[in-house]
Amino acid sequence: MTAFEANFDGLVGPTHNYAGLSFGNVASTGNQAAVSNPKLAALQGLKKMKALHDMGLVQGVFAPQERPDTHTLRQLGFTGSDAQVLERANKSSPKLLAACCSASSMWTANAATVSPSANTADSKVHFTPANLSSKFHRAIEHETTGRILQAMFPDSQHFAHHKALPGVSHFGDEGAANHTRFCSEPGKQGVEFFVYGRKAFSAGVEPQKYPARQTLEASQAIARNHQLDNGHVVYAQQNPAVIDQGVFHNDVIAVGSRDVLFCHEQAYLDQQQVYADLKAASGWRNFQIVEVPSNRVSVSEAVKSYLFNSQLITLPDGSLTIIVPAECQDNENVWSYLQELVTGDSPINAVKAFDLRQSMNNGGGPACLRLRVEMNDKELKAANQSCILDDGLYTTLCNWVERHYRDQLHTDDLIDPQLLEESRRALDELTGILGLGAVYPFQRV
Ligand code: SUG
């Protein structure tokens, strides 16, 4: 049976905007109040999906959430018609309204942690939606995320779905952005690498300026729920000093795939120990570490260019390509490093840059936009086929975006009841296209 890694990219929702909601994510706060282009954002994301499909990879589509989230606003005591709820929330706090309007579910690396069947004791693929408890606008995602995941992977013979961990800071969980599966090849038992920013129940070092979103205890709970073998799990603490420079997730400073870890030399608190633990747990000879030294690419350049928020993809011919954001091309130093990397003797053979600037302006690069699900043939068959991209679905989704999305949005527009209408109309049609059923609150009343 063949196994492979599929990418499920978040389709950018119709309310994509820049509200500066994510303290510690310097792109988000830096672009606060800029005018966004939701249509372009969605099309940029779709273009990347199509390109990966064309390269021979299995590419899936992950539906966005219902926004504005009037259901949460009602839970918070705003009453009246939907238009009044929006208006009253805005009057109380424009930032609160913006939090309930964010299209942040596009970054599906934060949707869940996924363990492939090759690693789990019951040989099922396990999913835990991330509680994203460190940011309010993200903490309201996991319920719908769980429903969408169920609709995408419905067969309980192959897929096990867990509830998000308790939504408190002790169990802050950011999903796959802080989790990597290594393996000698897909379908084989491999290592699950969990990266955390702080410990909740014991003492340890922590960042001073920006929050550490993920706790060790959250990662440990997921490993238990997913029935992982302890000998194949490695935990590592992120370097608090880099969190304080804007590295709010591990995937801003490292990326791994198969038997390759590509990371910055300052990524972890005890870098050499992390390497030793990964090598010991993997047990296979070829585990390769490509470490980028600070004197080649500084942490600040890494954060600006999002060099590490890249995708390492294995093409059907076995070669490894790195998918980076166009910002890497803009930075001469980073681009020349990448040229050397792919022409030198590293395991990475080629580089491809994508324009994802709409998402990047909120701190979301190529890796943030995708959730990896390693599957075998049987599991892929058992998944919802309407969510798997082909040329037809790509065209359908581009047309859908063209018909429903605005090409300009400012945070002042979030109060517009028309936007809510447009968004619901679009999502209602989308659930039909992707065969999801009634996953949104407005469809369930
Ligand atoms: O959680 N930005 C997201 C970006 C997530 C990136 N994901 C990964 N690194 N995997 C976040 O900080 C900004 C929204 C705003 O400010 O409007 C935001 O939520």
* pLDDT tens-digit series, residues 298-345: 999 999 999 999 999 999 999 999 999 999 999 999 999 999 999 999
Q: Read off the pLDDT of each residue in 249-263 and give the average, rounded to a whole number.
A: 98
**Which residues are bridge partners to 351 per DSSP?**
322
C-alpha torsion angle, residues 195, 199, 204, 205 (rounded to 10)? 60
pLDDT in the model for residue 402: 98
Atom index in ligand 1 nearest the CA of residue 29 equals 16
- Return the number of other C-beta atoms located less than 10 Å from residue 276's C-beta: 12
Tell the residue nearest (CA) to atom 5 of ligand 1.
Answer: 364
Residue 287 in this model has a pLDDT that exceeds 90:
yes
Report percent pLDDT > 70 for the chain. Answer: 100
Tell the residue nearest (CA) to atom 10 of ligand 1.
Answer: 368
Atom index in ligand 1 nearest the CA of residue 368 equals 10
Report percent pLDDT > 90 for the chain. Answer: 98
The b/e string for 91-114 (b: 16+ C-beta within 10 A; e otherwise) is: eeeeebbbbbbbbbbbbbbbbbbb
Measured CA to CA, the distance from residue 235 to residue 83 in angstroms comes to 47
In which band, very low, low, confident or very high, does the pLDDT at 233 lie, cut at 50, 70 and 90?
A: very high
* 105-162: pLDDT as tens digits: 999 999 999 999 999 999 999 999 999 999 999 999 999 999 999 999 999 999 999 9
Please say if 374 is a catalytic residue. Answer: no
Residue 181 in this model has a pLDDT that exceeds 90:
yes
pLDDT in the model for residue 286: 86
Please say if 183 is a catalytic residue. Answer: no
192, 115 in Cβ contact below 8 A?
yes
Ligand 1 centre distance from Cα of residue 290 (Å) = 26
Provide the token pair at 372.
């990896």
State the burial class of residue 68 (Cβ atoms within 10 Å of its Cβ: 0-12, 13-18, 19+): buried
List 137, 249, 264, 404, catalytic entry: 249
Residue 239 in this model has a pLDDT that exceeds 90:
yes
Q: Read off the pLDDT of each residue in 250-279 and give the average, rounded to a whole number.
A: 98
pLDDT in the model for residue 1: 82
350, 319 in Cβ contact below 8 A?
yes
Residue 284 in this model has a pLDDT that exceeds 90:
no
Q: Would strands 311-314 and 3-10 be described as parallel, antiparallel, or unpaired?
A: unpaired
pLDDT in the model for residue 285: 81
Q: Read off the pLDDT of each residue in 418-434 and give the average, rounded to a whole number.
A: 98
First to last CA, the chain: 43
φ, ψ of residue 76 to 5 degrees: the values are: -90, 5
353, 328 in Cβ contact below 8 A?
yes
pLDDT in the model for residue 433: 98
Could you please report the per-residue DSSP string of 370-394? EEEEEEEHHHHHHS-GGGB--HHHH
DSSP classification of residue 431 = H
Ligand 1 centre distance from Cα of residue 121 (Å) = 33
**238, amino acid identity:** Q
Ligand 1 centre distance from Cα of residue 100 (Å) = 14
In which band, very low, low, confident or very high, does the pLDDT at 60 lie, cut at 50, 70 and 90?
A: very high
Contacts of 386 (CB under 8 A, 6+ apart): 393, 433, 434, 435, 436
* Ligand 1 proximal residues by C-beta, below 6 Å: 18-22, 25, 28, 102, 104, 107, 109-110, 135, 138, 177, 249, 251-252, 362-364, 368
Atom index in ligand 1 nearest the CA of residue 309 equals 9
Residue 55 in this model has a pLDDT that exceeds 90:
yes
Please say if 249 is a catalytic residue. Answer: yes
Tell the residue nearest (CA) to atom 8 of ligand 1.
Answer: 368
Tell the residue nearest (CA) to atom 11 of ligand 1.
Answer: 22
pLDDT in the model for residue 383: 98
pLDDT in the model for residue 59: 98
Q: Would strands 125-129 and 159-161 be described as parallel, antiparallel, or unpaired?
A: parallel
Residue 445 in this model has a pLDDT that exceeds 90:
no
* 358-370: pLDDT as tens digits: 999 999 999 999 9
pLDDT in the model for residue 86: 98
Query: Which is more confident, 201 or 286?
Result: 201
Q: What is the mean pLDDT of the chain?
A: 97
List 368, 374, 379, 404, catalytic entry: 368
Ligand 1 centre distance from Cα of residue 20 (Å) = 9
Ligand 1 centre distance from Cα of residue 28 (Å) = 7
Can you give the pTM of this predicted structure? 0.98
Ligand 1 centre distance from Cα of residue 344 (Å) = 33
Q: Which residue has the tokens 């308790």?
A: 166
Query: Which is more confident, 285 or 55?
Result: 55
E strand intervals along 46-200: 59-62, 112-115, 125-129, 159-161, 179-182, 191-196
